[in-house]
Amino acid sequence: MAKTILLSLFLSTVSFALHGQMKPMWTWALERETSYPSRFFFTGYAEGNIRQGETVENAKNRLSRDAQGLLSESIRVTVRSQATSHVVSTETSFNATFQGTVQTESEIEIVGITSEPPYYDPETGIVYAFAYVSRPELAGYYKSNLAMHLTQAEGLLQTANELEASGEKSQARRQCEAAIPLLARVRAAQDLLTTIDLNITPEGLQQARTEALYSQIVQMLTQLAQAVYVFVESAETNFSQPVTIIANRLKSALSVMGCSFTDDTAQTDFRLKISARTRYQGIEQGFTICYADVAVALFDVRRNVSVFEDEFSQKGIHTSREAAGRRALEDAATAIAEKISPWIN
């Protein structure tokens, strides 16, 4: 009899122990607070019943996603409530675009989340899910992320300076504009770090470096915005041979006036269309005479109006037909620059 009682007690103890082991300790609020203190972790916890027609596995997946979502949202809410500007504020279209991009970047997924295997309690029919992320690990990731994007943005600025110095202002502007999402990611990382690492310093945020870079890009974009961007469409032939003589000469002449050239019609201020072909005229005193018949049209993209159109013939003299045709095209480029400069300026 005594043996039977002892065996029963033993089996009950084993059953209780096994049942207790099956239910994770993190399902208890006190255990979560003790094992995952808020100074070292962000956590997300969810529990709920299985919905009608839902399998246990689907319920586990759903609650696990809920736990991760609650964790991520708790960080984002803190960021949105505590975030302050880490860069200088300048009233430019760049700044407006930058601020909008920051808002988008602030909604990125939080990396490094660990999800515990969801637990289903068959006695209560409740599914439990828990997710957590380490503050130090998260801070380390975003510090590295911040430094990487700053370096990339600095590289774009350096390239922009080189392009601007060589007269490729449209390409320079694109490099600066490409830095907008990178700086926005820097700002988002800084805001996250301010929330994650309560002891973060301005040096840790690389705040001075960010402000300097932001100011330089704003200044360059402001400077580039004053340039006139021209899209040149040219169809030239020198006695049936395709050439770009007028286009090349014209770009050189207009660049002196502060014009830049782009192959992106969406970013142009003026669209210039040129059609030219040469024809043989004859020989005078041993020299070949040719003419370049030219049609030119200038369209103001900003005002959506054609501002100049003309057709003319330009004379060229040289020792051969091809050379005379080339001379006619070169002089035609000078004539076109004179004709359209009042409209571009």
Asked if pLDDT for residue 18 goes beyond 90, the answer is no
Measure the CA–CA gap between 63 and 53, rounded to whole angstroms.
16
pTM score, two decimals?
0.57
Q: What class has domain 26-134?
A: alpha beta
Helix (H) or strand (E) holding 188: helix 169-196
pLDDT at 156: 95
The pLDDT of 47-66, averaged and rounded, is 94
CA proximity to 273, closest of 243, 247, 312, 303: 247
What is the reported pLDDT for 274?
Answer: 96
Token pair listed for 153: 């943005």
pLDDT confidence bin for 108, thresholds 50/70/90: low
Query: What percentage of the chain exceeds 70 in pLDDT?
Result: 84
- pLDDT, average across residues 106-114: 73
pLDDT value for 312: 96
Domain boundaries, the chain: 26-134, 137-222, 228-344
Output the pLDDT for position 95. 57
Is 55 a residue whose pLDDT tops 50? yes
pLDDT digits (tens, 9 = 90+) for 201-254: 999 999 999 999 988 998 888 887 777 888 999 999 999 999 999 999 998 888
pLDDT at 58 over 80: yes
Topology at the third CATH level for domain 137-222: Methane Monooxygenase Hydroxylase; Chain G, domain 1 (1.20.58)
**The pLDDT of residue 12 is above 60:** no
Dist CA 323 CA 316 (whole Å): 8
> How high does pLDDT run on average in the chain?
84
Instruction: Please determine, looking at this structure, whether the domain spanning 228-344 carries the CATH number 3.30.160.150.
Output: yes
- Is residue 282 classed as helix, strand or coil in its secondary structure? strand
Radius of gyration of the chain (CA): 35
8 Å CB contact between 257 and 338: no
Say whether pLDDT at 120 is over 90. Answer: yes
Q: What percent of the chain has pLDDT over 90?
A: 52
pLDDT for 21: 47
* Residue at token pair 């996250």: 192
Nearby residues of 280 by Cβ (< 8 Å), 6 or more positions away: 239, 288, 290, 321
Instruction: Tell me what the mean pLDDT of segment 75-101 comes to.
Output: 57
* pLDDT number for residue 107: 57
Distance CA 226, CA 258 (A): 9
Confidence at 3, pLDDT banded by 50, 70, 90:
very low
The H or E element containing residue 340 is helix 321-344
SS3 123: coil
Assign 3-class secondary structure to 27-92: HCHHHHHHHCCCCCEEEEEEEEECCCCCCHHHHHHHHHHHHHHHHHHHHHHHHHHHCCCCCCCCCC
Digit-coded pLDDT (tens) for 300-335: 887 889 999 999 999 999 999 999 999 999 999 999
